[in-house]
Structure 1
Amino acid sequence: MRTSLPALCAAFLASMYFRSYFGVVGPLISDELALSPVEFGWLASAFFGSFALLQIPVGIAFDRWGVRRPMALMMLVGAAGSGLLAASSGFWSAFAGQVAVGIGCAPIFMGVLYYLGRLHSPEKAGRLAATVSSIGSVGALLSASPLSWFTAEWGWRAACWTASVMMLGCALSIAVTLRQSLSSPNALQANGAGTWRLSHLLYLVPICFTLSLGGTFRNAWAGPYLTDVFGRGTDVGTVLTAVSVFGIATSFALPFALVRWRGRTLVTATYMVGLLSAVLLAVSPGSSIFAASAGLALLYAMGNIHPVAMTEAQALLPDRARGVGLGALNTLVFLGVSASSAVFGALAELRLSVAATYGLIFGATATALAIALAVYVVCRPKAIAVQEAAPVFD
């Protein structure tokens, strides 16, 4: 672990960088390649489309071949994709590059969870996964102001070539440091047969579907909300920077919190805080810019418990279905972002007053979080009871 953990951290940092780098380089690419708005939209969505579609296939690959080979090979594809984007002369080559970058990032987060879950107990795996996630979140910062400075000095093509070399180095470190076959410390994982059913994981479905609702605001709806409610002169950039910094700070605090509290306690507490924030914003979306910023920050920080929820899922998955199970749950996270953004758009189309519109949007968010929390609190004990009663479980 002294060599593999840094490699996993570096890989996740690269993934977080690529998740948000297009916000800086995208407009520059569009200008130089003379892309239409439609082409720009497709180029922006190519990464997340390939990323989301590959979650279940990646899980199947992990179940069959382990983490090291699939993860390293796909990251090599991602490095090639960033190079292709750097050398692109038109839409289709840039689009292919973006798709390849999505392929390269698709196995990274799930690979971290899968690898650590096979090597450690659920409690330790959760702490280590949270540590990797917090360190990797720095990648989102690198793709902001530092990337803007870099592109201003050397251009977007140099930035993409540099990112390609970074991804290549991460792929090689994964290939060299990760062990191919791992024994699991969990009796359930060691005995892949028995009474396990998919229904044992259903209580986590609403949690996964709503984990990144705060990210929907951070990446798309916070800007319209702040400018519509507080005026066009609102410093949206400062608010979003503060929201991002708060999210990163809380992600670094999470591993320490896991030492003191169980994962289920943190999931429950996080959802209660997020629910309260959404309710307050729904009741009074325009009370003050400070209240709005705090509410958005708390909703965004909810996404930090993603590795905690996925680690809990691993403890319920048999060895034969671990990868595909994690892939299915991870897909739900991306579907939740897509669905929530579409729902928010439909609510905004109702042509209500500004206060009523955003009150409704935050009310819908609060409703989704309340349902997820209720299912988790009520149904989790039943799922755990079934686990403990089955002979293949600890």
Structure 2
Amino acid sequence: MKAASVESSHEDYMYTSLPALCAAFLASMYFRSYFGVIGPLISDELALSPVEFGWLASAFFGSFALLQIPVGIGFDRWGVRWPMTLMMVVGAAGSAVLASSPGFWFAFGGQVAIGIGCAPIFMGVLYYLGRLHSPDKAGRLAATVSSVGSVGALLSASPLSWFTAEWGWRTACWTASVTMLGCAFSIAATLRQTPSSTNAVQANGAGSWRLPHLLYLVPICFTLALGGTFRNAWAGPYLTDVFGHRTDVGTVLSAVSVFGIATSFALPFALLRWHGRTIVTATYVVGLLSAVVLAFSPGSSIFEASAGLALLYAMGNIHPVAMTEAQTLLPSNMRGVGLGALNTLVFLGVSASSSIFGAVAELRLSVAATYGLIFGATATALAIALGIYVACRPNVVVVQEAAPASD
């Protein structure tokens, strides 16, 4: 009777908290991507230098990354509901600050606050679902939430370009602020206390966990969202510098986003057929080849550039797969801080790459040399991560405990 009651309780959340998690992740994905459209407008109005543009683009991801471990500790101690709600309110305030910013430092502070608001969302999804379900089911549900939320990246492309053309980027930021606040209230209203973990770990035949078991994931986490750096900030400068200022950046970003969304919706079905490791490996091979092609011919054609950007951006879809793999290696009492540490690397990678790209652009090399160097650095990072992942991944066996869920 108790087991049936627990299972029924687990299914009930599908009709309440799961939609709220999808909406929150959609808002987070919008904010991860919106700077690709709004950033150049802010830069023009506030007269930012390339270095300031790079710092402004990286501010969101920097604050996002630095908070992952504290957020994980908070989840381990207080659960998901209230830390996530309160931080999302801060994010809504940050978007309002950005909307009213008169200069770089105001805008920078707004971007930092938006990063704070988005910091708990993705990890909250993983943590919450991981405490409710087995790794396989949690991974599929997390991929589903990720695919629905990825629509936020589409909204931040052509729809956002149209909106800003009609009403301006400041109105867009005010609208996003109100939306984020609504998502925060929905999280507060629908999420419940996080149930006890149902997963234990047995790695390499041992019943205990050791830090080296996770080290092979460090390069993967640091590089899996590098493609998002182009979609979120540098695709616009790349396309206009190489192909001219008349290039329809909004259409290209929309196509990139549609491809990312399509592949994200396909991911839960792919996980039914192939192991997560196979999907991660194949994704990195494709991303590496794309970066190499763009490094050697960044200005070959707009179609080649668009395809390469789309494939690099779609690599980010394996984020929940990599994090679910990490959960199978973490003890229940360290799951939050462990996921936080790995998630920190994901967004530090985006933040660091955006700043590095800005520094490369400041060198005043030729356009072809600048973007060839940027894509070449991306390819090198992906190759290193892939090699370590394939060569050093341990054998992992996940065993199920009979720990009951608690409300």
Where on the TM-score scale, by shorter chain, does this alignment land: which range? 0.7 to 0.9
Query: What CA distance in whole angstroms lies between the structure 1 residues aligned with 2:379 and 2:230?
Result: 13
1:280 to 287, 290, 293: 293
Q: Compare 22-31 and 308-317 and name the one that shifted more.
A: 22-31
Going from structure 1 to structure 2, the CA distance change for 1:36 and 1:234 (only over 3 Å counts) comes to closer
Corresponding residue of 1:62: 75
The amino acid that maps onto 1:219 is N
In the alignment, structure 1 residue 384 sits paired with structure 2 residue 382:
no
Residues 284-323 of structure 1 mapped to structure 2, 5 A cutoff? 284-323=297-336
Query: What CA distance in whole angstroms lies between the structure 1 residues aligned with 2:252 and 2:387?
Result: 31
Query: What CA distance in whole angstroms lies between the structure 2 residues aligned with 1:350 and 1:59?
Result: 39
CA deviation after TM superposition for structure 1 residue 201, in Å: 0.5
In the alignment, structure 1 residue 104 sits paired with structure 2 residue 110:
no
Query: What CA distance in whole angstroms lies between the structure 2 residues aligned with 1:294 and 1:344?
Result: 20
Going from structure 1 to structure 2, the CA distance change for 1:46 and 1:283 (only over 3 Å counts) comes to closer
Query: What CA distance in whole angstroms lies between the structure 2 residues aligned with 1:221 and 1:90?
Result: 21
Query: What CA distance in whole angstroms lies between the structure 2 residues aligned with 1:283 and 1:28?
Result: 30
CA deviation after TM superposition for structure 1 residue 342, in Å: 4.6
Query: What CA distance in whole angstroms lies between the structure 2 residues aligned with 1:221 and 1:95?
Result: 17
| TM-score, with structure 2 as normaliser | 0.81
Corresponding residue of 2:92: 79
In the alignment, structure 1 residue 180 sits paired with structure 2 residue 193:
yes
Residues 202-281 of structure 1 mapped to structure 2, 5 A cutoff? 202-227=215-240, 229-230=242-243, 234-281=247-294
Going from structure 1 to structure 2, the CA distance change for 1:303 and 1:197 (only over 3 Å counts) comes to same
Corresponding residue of 1:16: 29
CA deviation after TM superposition for structure 1 residue 30, in Å: 7.4
CA deviation after TM superposition for structure 1 residue 94, in Å: 5.6
Q: Compare 264-273 and 354-363 and name the one that shifted more.
A: 354-363
Residues 355-370 of structure 1 mapped to structure 2, 5 A cutoff? 358-370=371-383
The amino acid that maps onto 2:125 is V
Query: What CA distance in whole angstroms lies between the structure 1 residues aligned with 2:29 and 2:361?
Result: 30
CA deviation after TM superposition for structure 1 residue 157, in Å: 5.3
CA deviation after TM superposition for structure 1 residue 335, in Å: 1.9
SS of the aligned residue for 1:187 comes to strand
SS of the aligned residue for 2:208 comes to coil
SS of the aligned residue for 1:197 comes to coil
Identity %: 84
Q: Deviations over 1:128-172 (max 9, x none)?
A: 111111111111222333344445555555544433332222122
Query: What CA distance in whole angstroms lies between the structure 2 residues aligned with 1:155 and 1:286?
Result: 31
CA contact (8 A) 2:33 2:231 kept: no
The amino acid that maps onto 1:384 is N
Q: Deviations over 1:225-283 (max 9, x none)?
A: 44555556554443333222211221121122112212111101111111222233344
Corresponding residue of 1:375: 388
CA deviation after TM superposition for structure 1 residue 43, in Å: 5.6
SS of the aligned residue for 1:188 comes to strand
Q: Deviations over 1:181-206 (max 9, x none)?
A: 312221239xxxx7312211000011
Corresponding residue of 1:329: 342
Query: What CA distance in whole angstroms lies between the structure 1 residues aligned with 2:391 and 2:57?
Result: 39
Q: Compare 245-254 and 77-86 and name the one that shifted more.
A: 77-86
The amino acid that maps onto 1:257 is A
Going from structure 1 to structure 2, the CA distance change for 1:155 and 1:271 (only over 3 Å counts) comes to closer
1:37 to 36, 48, 60: 48
Going from structure 1 to structure 2, the CA distance change for 1:130 and 1:27 (only over 3 Å counts) comes to same
Query: What CA distance in whole angstroms lies between the structure 2 residues aligned with 1:232 and 1:312?
Result: 43
In the alignment, structure 1 residue 130 sits paired with structure 2 residue 143:
yes
Q: Give the count of matched residue pairs.
A: 382
Query: What CA distance in whole angstroms lies between the structure 2 residues aligned with 1:51 and 1:93?
Result: 18
The amino acid that maps onto 1:327 is G
CA contact (8 A) 2:131 2:194 kept: no
Q: Compare 208-217 and 287-296 and name the one that shifted more.
A: 287-296
SS of the aligned residue for 2:216 comes to helix
